[in-house]
Amino acid sequence: MSVSAASHLSPSYPDRAAWGTAPKLRAWQQQAYDLYFSREPRDFLTVATPGAGKTTYALRIASELLSRGVVRALTIVTPTEHLKRQWADAAARVGIGIDPEFKNSQGATSRDYVGVAVTYAQIAMHPALHRARTEARKTLVIFDEIHHAGDAKSWGDGVREAFEPATRRLALTGTPFRSDDSPIPFVTYVEDGEGAMRSVSDYSYGYGPALADNVVRPVIFLAYSGEMKWRTRAGDEIAATLGTPLTKDQLSQAWRAALDPKGDWIRQVIHAADRRLTEVRRGVPDAGGLVIASDHESARAYARHIRTVTGEGAEVVLSDDPGASKKIKDFAGSDRRWLVAVRMVSEGVDIPRLCVGVYATSTSTPLFFAQAVGRFVRARKRGETASVFLPSVPVLMGLAGEMEAERDHVLGRRRDEDGLDDMLLEQAQQEKKQPDALGDELPFQTLEASATFDRVLFDGGEFGTAAAPGSPEEEDFIGLPGLLEPDQVASLLRKRQADQQAAKRKTKKGSEDSAPALAPHEQLAELRKELNGLVGAWNHRTGQPHGVIHAELRRACGGPAIAQATAEQVRERIAMIRKWATQRR
């Protein structure tokens, strides 16, 4: 093992370094490294956005501590079995021997190894064993995705017992927030002045700064709505349009119908995503796509759809497959187009060539969403962009619009604060083999499910108008070049938005010239309807009540309340809310 070897580890190991970064540490890695050794802390929490290069940074610190003799052994704790091997491969590159196959039943490992890689679940099963190993030699413990130590009480208790005697503890996470009040071991919390306790990181590097540094890719979200029809458990037939205001139950069922492999929605979205992948591969020849499914049954069905669309089979990765890790590794090193996986692949699996994703799961916790999108943001060269296709669902639209928001873990918050409790984290991380069972009642049955291109979300703005799959309007956005700088993406999106609106105005004027003129009251009714629809969409995006949005528009544009506003005043408000949707808010 040598510090020199560690200095030549690619910042994005085990794959290609990001543009302009190799062979030195990235600026954020060097800053965090310098801060660590200026303090010489026992505990240090580093929060860095997925894809930023936490592995390289941590191994550089480990190399230095081992070289100085501050520690003699290394224990790496990860959420999954696959990540144990990934860390061991990275450590081997810098001459640190890590045993990823260590079992609790062994008690000890070979002298060829400086340390072991284990999972949080493994620690919880036998904390006393790992405590004895930690006490036997001066040990550095690296916690990968430390928030998982709070997944279950036994996990947190086990981590505390096992590693309380550690000489040094380095905690890493890309998503430090959780949807519950389980405290994360060895993380500091302070009062936030509102009766809650907020986590404190020692160094933080968010998606926004990483994007500015060209460390991660910009993400284009392509949202799809559509017409859904289903039969409920009680036997009633219901129709609804995804992307319009719906009750909680209606939204849940419409979302479920959209993801149903038997419906056309998912087929049409996969087809669109594959067309996008073809465009991206013009500039990024080995670009790959990932479909994140909710359960095993759906994953296999989606793979069949991909074969029908592309003529090429997709790699399917399921957790109960003993060869899952090898499949992921083989796919990462190939140029195959598509990988389909159930939710477990959303975190920690590094396949930097993934550029296109389909979010085909109803899991909607901010933590899970951030981890899922994190699979697509690792940059390898300048100009690469990521594209994620998703259902036009308010909670997902909100999360997509908040990509750059940085959150802390908060204990004792109000349960409705910032939507972090929409689903228990354990449910979000659980991998299912079959869709949810519905007892002895009639099964949920999708009768119809068709997709409609809704809009594009990028850098806090919204672009595009509703269009049929395969239409020129949809193609305007699917056909965006795969190699663009973030400012070029925004500029091109604005231009295509403007072109579409101009074409619609021209078409509308032509139809108005050939059709009888609307009476003033009819014209005003149509304008109010259009404005109310836009206010509803803004409500989905921001969570602001409709009345508040109307009040803001009135303050911005002047004039009376909507009931007394003239046609021209309503048009001004329509133009203003459209402007909001295309600008950062």
Among the three residues 140, 175, 205, which one is the final residue of a domain in this structure?
A: 205
User: pLDDT tens for residues 130-171?
Assistant: 999 999 999 999 999 888 887 667 788 999 999 999 999 999
**Mean local confidence (pLDDT), 338-356:** 78
Number of domains in the chain: 3
- Least confident range from 342-346, 531-535, 549-553: namely 342-346
CA 386 – CA 280 distance, rounded (Å): 9
223 against 378, higher pLDDT: 223
Contact 272, 280 (CB under 8 A): no
pLDDT on residue 22: 40
pLDDT interval class at 470 (50, 70, 90): confident
Same domain flag for 187 and 227:
no
Give Dmax over CA atoms of the chain in angstroms: 89
- Provide the CATH number for the domain around residue 46: 3.40.50.10810
Contact 535, 549 (CB under 8 A): yes
* C-beta atoms surrounding 477 within 10 Å: 24
Strands 203-205 and 43-48 come out as parallel
Task: Report if residue 31 sits inside a domain.
Answer: yes
Same domain flag for 59 and 167:
yes
Same domain flag for 354 and 494:
yes
Same domain flag for 46 and 70:
yes
Same domain flag for 200 and 118:
yes
pLDDT on residue 518: 66
Q: What is the dihedral of CA 207, 211, 217, 218, to 10 degrees?
A: 90
Same domain flag for 395 and 247:
yes
Same domain flag for 346 and 283:
yes
Residue 187 has pLDDT above 60, yes or no: yes
Among the three residues 148, 171, 205, which one is the final residue of a domain in this structure?
A: 205
Residue with tokens 């304008």: 527
- Least confident range from 37-46, 136-145, 456-465: namely 456-465
Same domain flag for 365 and 479:
yes
Among the three residues 504, 532, 548, which one is the final residue of a domain in this structure?
A: 504
pLDDT interval class at 64 (50, 70, 90): very high
**Mean local confidence (pLDDT), 380-400:** 89
486 against 404, higher pLDDT: 486
Task: Report if residue 4 sits inside a domain.
Answer: no
Same domain flag for 166 and 269:
no
Give the best-scoring range by mean pLDDT among 10-19, 38-47, 485-494.
38-47
pLDDT interval class at 336 (50, 70, 90): very high
pLDDT on residue 357: 96
Report H helices in 137-192: 153-163
pLDDT on residue 50: 83
Residue 399 has pLDDT above 80, yes or no: yes
pLDDT on residue 8: 47
- Least confident range from 438-442, 448-452, 466-470, 493-497: namely 438-442
Same domain flag for 253 and 146:
no
Same domain flag for 467 and 525:
no
- Least confident range from 124-128, 273-277, 370-374, 519-523: namely 519-523
Task: Report if residue 9 sits inside a domain.
Answer: no
- Provide the CATH number for the domain around residue 264: 3.40.50.300
pTM (predicted TM-score):
0.72
Same domain flag for 244 and 147:
no
* Average pLDDT for the chain: 82
Question: For residue 531, what are the domain limits?
Answer: 520-583
For the chain, how far is it from start to end, CA to CA, in angstroms? 49
Residue 335 CB-density burial (10 A; 0-12 exposed, 13-18 middle, 19+ buried): exposed
- Least confident range from 83-97, 145-159, 218-232, 371-385: namely 145-159
Task: Report if residue 426 sits inside a domain.
Answer: no
User: pLDDT tens for residues 207-254?
Assistant: 888 888 888 888 999 999 999 999 887 888 999 988 888 888 889 999
Task: Report if residue 239 sits inside a domain.
Answer: yes
DSSP state of 208: H
Task: Report if residue 424 sits inside a domain.
Answer: no
460 against 40, higher pLDDT: 40
Residue 427 has pLDDT above 70, yes or no: no
Task: Report if residue 562 sits inside a domain.
Answer: yes
Task: Report if residue 13 sits inside a domain.
Answer: no
Contact 313, 303 (CB under 8 A): yes
